[in-house]
Amino acid sequence: MEHNIKLNQKSLTEISKRISCPTYDRSQLKTGIVHIGIGGFHRAHEAYYTDQLLHNTAITEWGICGVALLPSDTNIYNTLKAQDGLYTLMVKEFDGSLTKRVIGSITEILFAPANPIEVIQKMASPEVKIVTLTITEGGYNYNEATKSFDKENPAILHDIAHPSAPKTVFGYLTQALKLRKENGSKGFTIQSCDNIQGNGDMTKTMLLSYVQMVEPSLVAWIEEHVSFPNSMVDRITPATSPNDIERLQTEAGIDDAWPVVCEPFKQWVIEDDFVNGRPLWEAVGAQFVEDVVPYEKMKLSLLNAGHTVLGVLGALSGYATIDEAVHDTQISTFLKHYMDTEVTPTLADLEGVDLEAYKASLLQRFGNVNIKDQIDRICSESSAKIPIFVLPTVTSNLESNRSIDFAAFLMAAWAIYSLGKDDNGDDLIIKDAIATTLHDKAVVASNGNPTAFLEIESVFGQLKTSERFVAAYTSAYQNITKLGTEKSVLNLNNNNLNTI
């Protein structure tokens, strides 16, 4: 291969001789979508679908403006800015090969902390018809303990005090919608692409709680002019590693400072409820349905919770990647038990879905040895994920008097994981917004009071009041402490031999 080429708009023609590139004229695209949160997942999913659509050159109104919301997004902002919004998507196929393409759908990039007004104005501009979000499960400011919007969050208090220089998505959306109302413009659709049951409903409830506090007169306008479709999003997108960057240089001679890697599988199921038009994403594989709830439930409680199982048990066992964990027979047997005996009965009302095939496909996807999805990534922010991925299953099983043993074991394993050491005594780095609380409670738990961990109400709500759960959890906690993860997983599996 000749010299490496730096990825940017100017070099695109040259790069298109090496890998597939946008064939559409990016300079002709209007910005129809503002997207908040330009991490890997957005770039492997919505931006990819939209790029595929834009290859139909008759479509010019759906360029994406990517917004970096947080000061910690400086790096991705600078990188994408230097590359004119372009990046390489590297799909890690099952046979080990890479499918590489440059994605061109992000045509503008803004850094909110540097210029909040610019972001508000962009969102208020009439050509923008949809605001999409990937702000993570924790970004919705929902408090599990009070089951409502967290009004005490310092970032929210900041936004109330400084409406024109907000920090949170709620501050931005409120100001932009207020401006649209004042300008006599149409509303827009707010589309969450995060892993939350009823992500659109959650966005609406949280936003209206905020608006009710700061701009009560805007509530009725939003009810009428803004829609919040629920959606199920899916594509496993590990963090990009230095090896991935190097591989792109070696295989294609392209210098891309931040390519995105992902699995071949992708799915996007969306409720067709858009107040101001939408792209024909169905032309490139998205599904529009009337009720997305069944799909969401299935994905969150099997795929995402499955990840949590593999992540927590895998981390304690000393594994670094998800494929390593799923190739450990006892861990995958545990996962199958959990899926079959505890999750499947809660999904009884799913119509038209072949659950057995879905579960089998998940094990295959988790096992893709080329993906190298990091256990660190999966375990990060568990305090926001577990209440969404795992605890609804527990609640439903407690109500119906079904098995909760595997979930209780998982929670005990998480409590032990939160001590920050794996079974070999090696350090585990815990990345979590409430890492200190998790650690403090984990320490109390390890000093003869396992249930102390369940006292974290923002995660567990009132779960500590369920005697049945507490008993199963305590017994699992003691077993793991006494026997280690491997042996106690084996014992639990053996006690349930006839259930799979």
> Considering only residues 206, 284, 326, 378, which one is a binding residue for ligand CS2 as defined by CB under 6 A?
378
CA separation for the pair 458, 456 (Å, rounded): 6
Min CB(322)–ligand CS2 separation in Å: 9
Stretch that binds ligand CS2, among 4-12, 229-237, 277-285, 329-337 (CB under 6 A): 229-237
Residue 256 is a binding residue for ligand CS2 (CB under 6 A): no
Site of tokens 């439903």 = 396
Contact 100, 86 (CB under 8 A): no
Report the run of H or E that residue 111 belongs to, with start and end: strand 106-111
CA separation for the pair 314, 482 (Å, rounded): 18
> Considering only residues 167, 178, 278, 307, which one is a binding residue for ligand CS2 as defined by CB under 6 A?
307
Min CB(344)–ligand CS2 separation in Å: 19
Ranges within 137-166 binding ligand CS2 (CB under 6 A): none
For ligand CS2, the closer CB: 100 or 235: 235
Report the run of H or E that residue 172 belongs to, with start and end: helix 169-183
> Considering only residues 43, 100, 167, 385, which one is a binding residue for ligand CS2 as defined by CB under 6 A?
385
Stretch that binds ligand CS2, among 113-121, 230-238, 415-423, 460-468 (CB under 6 A): 230-238
Q: Binding mask 275-304 vs ligand CS2 (x if CB under 6 A, - otherwise)?
A: -----------------------------x
For ligand CS2, the closer CB: 138 or 253: 138
CA separation for the pair 244, 251 (Å, rounded): 10
* Strands in 205-286 per DSSP E: 231-234, 254-255, 260-262, 267-271
Residue 204 is a binding residue for ligand CS2 (CB under 6 A): no
Q: How many residues bind ligand CS2 (CB under 6 A)?
A: 8
Min CB(233)–ligand CS2 separation in Å: 6
Structure tokens at 130: 């949809």
For ligand CS2, the closer CB: 167 or 365: 365
CA separation for the pair 138, 383 (Å, rounded): 8
Min CB(139)–ligand CS2 separation in Å: 13
> Considering only residues 195, 341, 344, 488, which one is a binding residue for ligand CS2 as defined by CB under 6 A?
195
Contact 134, 35 (CB under 8 A): yes
CA separation for the pair 169, 207 (Å, rounded): 9
Residue 235 is a binding residue for ligand CS2 (CB under 6 A): yes
Q: Report in angstroms the alpha-carbon separations of 48 from 79, 416, 453.
A: 18, 39, 41
CA separation for the pair 458, 146 (Å, rounded): 8
For ligand CS2, the closer CB: 41 or 477: 41
Strands 231-234 and 267-271: antiparallel
Which residues of this chain interact with ligand CS2, rule CB under 6 A?
195, 234-236, 304, 307, 378, 385
